[in-house]
Amino acid sequence: MSVLNVGFVPLLDAAPIIIAAEMGFAAEEGLALNLKPAASWSLVRDMLAFGAVDAAHMLAPVPVASALALGGGANVSLSAGAVLSMNGTVIGVSEPTAMRMRDTGFGFDFADPIGAREALLAVAPKPLRLGVPFPFSMHYELVTYWLGAAGQDAVEIRTVPPSLMADAIANDEIDAFCVGEPWGSLVVEQTAGTLILPGTSIWSQAPEKVLAMRTDWGTENAGSRNALIRASVKAARWLGNPDSATIAAEILSASEFLDLPAEVLDRGLSGQLTISSRGENRRVGAFVSFFEGAANFPWRSQAEWIGAQLAARAGLDQTEARTAAASVFRSDWYRDAMEGTGLDVPGASSKIEGANAEAIPVASAFGRLSLMPNQFYDCRVFDPDQT
């Protein structure tokens, strides 16, 4: 039995590695996982970079930022061997801001990103103080993409660790936030704020967290690397079964993991969210995806989209940044790990992002794979073959 140290930040989307350890999927692959929690994304990134852990539950943009020499740290080459989750984030506002939005007639339908943006910016303080967990995160990319030019001069983005988001809102340090579950639900539980959008309403197939490894470690330890990818994907498949939600919430609620009530965790797992202290509920289909539609496959086009966003903000050469970014999402590692498992794998490594409003079949190893709907809120598309 090989022992691997794996870092994670206490979030709902750490579920695949936690479930892999707790439900025996890692043991089936000959692994014992020593899970190490971290309070912030900078800490788990540094734990990985300096060898305190072998792999980590990681924000999808962090390995890309590392490849572009952005963000400081050790600038060690990191690779994503699999995607652990798609989406699972919420955007919310403080209670005073929510009250002003209600006064304008905004209905909090949780499905209208353009209406929510207009209502928020109409009543927001100048600048709007918006909290995200890390500068290199899908939270940051989603909210800046959503706000677009309208938010360039009107928004001040602040970094707040996920577990401290509720305190930051309650203490009037920020006016709005984007965070992964269950920390948005905790804001509601503490009557500090109201949720206005799920991340899925901005990009329905955003790669939220990845299974990250140091590139040299993954190259030198291909057996352990592949076993860890397989264990995570098996756990993700188990999580993708709706009947698993209750057990998963109970496991994740343990003090060594998320240390929150199971009923709060179940909201994100089921997509049945309570968005305000008034008890308003909203149902979000595929709020977080762990397995369905090749959710675990590290598409190079996803990394390229992230690289293009980072390059535009940092003033880097787009072509060079996109090429470097694409090399980070290791579809080759994923295929190697899945060999012989019977799980279907896409035939291509890139796709047009944002191009399909419905599920579509794609060429795959066994010819039985369909991708989930993939759209941006403004109907743009990102074609990795176009520069």
Q: Residue 264 in contact with residue 376, Cβ under 8 Å?
A: no
Pairing of strands 272-274, 207-214: unpaired
Q: Residue 166 is part of a domain; what is its CATH number?
A: 3.40.190.10
Whether 199 is in a domain gets the answer: yes
Same domain for 219 and 79: yes
- Whether residue 303 contacts residue 325, with contact meaning beta carbons closer than 8 Å, is answered with yes
Instruction: Tell me how far the alpha carbon of residue 225 is from its chain's centroid.
Output: 21
Q: What are all long-range contacts of 281-285, with beta carbons under 8 Å and residues at least 24 apart?
A: 282/109, 282/110, 282/111, 282/195, 284/110, 284/198, 284/200
Q: Is there a domain that residue 6 lies in? A: yes
Q: Does 21 reside within a domain?
A: yes
Tokens of 266: 């179940």
Residue 338 lies in a domain: yes
Phi/psi region, residue 228 (left: phi>0; alpha: psi -120 to 50; beta: rest), is alpha
Q: How far is CA 87 from its chain centroid?
A: 5
How confident is the model over 48-77, as pLDDT tens digits?
A: 999 999 999 999 999 999 999 998 767 799
Partners of 156 in beta bridges: 129
Indicate whether 325 and 191 sit together in one domain: no
Domain check: are 126 and 250 in the same one? no
DSSP codes of every residue in 270-306: HTEEE-STT--EEE-TTSEESSTTTTTS--HHHHHHH
On whether both 211 and 72 belong to a single domain, the answer is yes
Residue 105 phi, psi (nearest 5): 95, 5
Query: Does 357 fall in a domain?
Result: no
Q: Where are the alpha helices (DSSP H) in the chain?
A: 15-22, 25-28, 41-49, 61-67, 95-103, 113-123, 138-147, 165-170, 183-189, 215-220, 222-239, 245-252, 262-270, 300-314, 318-326, 331-338
User: pLDDT digits over 235-286, tens only?
Assistant: 999 999 999 999 999 999 999 999 999 999 999 999 999 999 999 999 999 9
Residue 137 lies in a domain: yes
* Lowest model confidence (mean pLDDT) among 142-151, 164-173, 251-260, 362-371: 142-151
- Does 107 lie in the same domain as 186? yes
Domain boundaries, position 150: 89-205+268-289
Number of domains the chain is built from: 2
120 plus 196 within the same structural domain? yes
Instruction: Say whether both 131 and 188 belong to one domain.
Output: yes
Question: What does the pLDDT look like over 184-226, one tens digit per residue?
Answer: 999 999 999 999 999 999 999 999 999 999 999 999 999 999 9
CB 341 within 8 A of CB 309: no
Which residues neighbour 111 within 8 Å (Cβ) at sequence distance 6 or greater? Answer: 201, 282
Structural domain includes residue 385:
no
**Do 217 and 337 belong to one domain?**
yes
Query: Tokens 């050790």 identify what position?
Result: 74
In a shared domain, residues 285 and 168: yes
CA pair distance 236, 260, nearest whole angstrom: 21
pLDDT at res. 353: 98
Residue 154 has a pLDDT of 85
Contact 337, 80 (CB under 8 A): no
Reported as a pLDDT band with limits 50, 70 and 90, residue 386 is: confident
Task: Please indicate, yes or no, whether the overall pTM of this predicted structure exceeds 0.85.
Answer: yes
Judge whether 223 lies within some domain. Answer: yes
Please give the Cα distance from 179 to 168 (Å, whole number).
12
Residue 128 CA from chain centroid, whole number: 23
Check whether residue 77 and residue 226 sit in a common domain.
Answer: yes
Same domain flag for 94 and 120: yes
Q: Are residues 315 and 334 in the same domain?
A: yes
Q: Please report where in the chains the tokens 């962090």 appear, as a residue.
A: 62
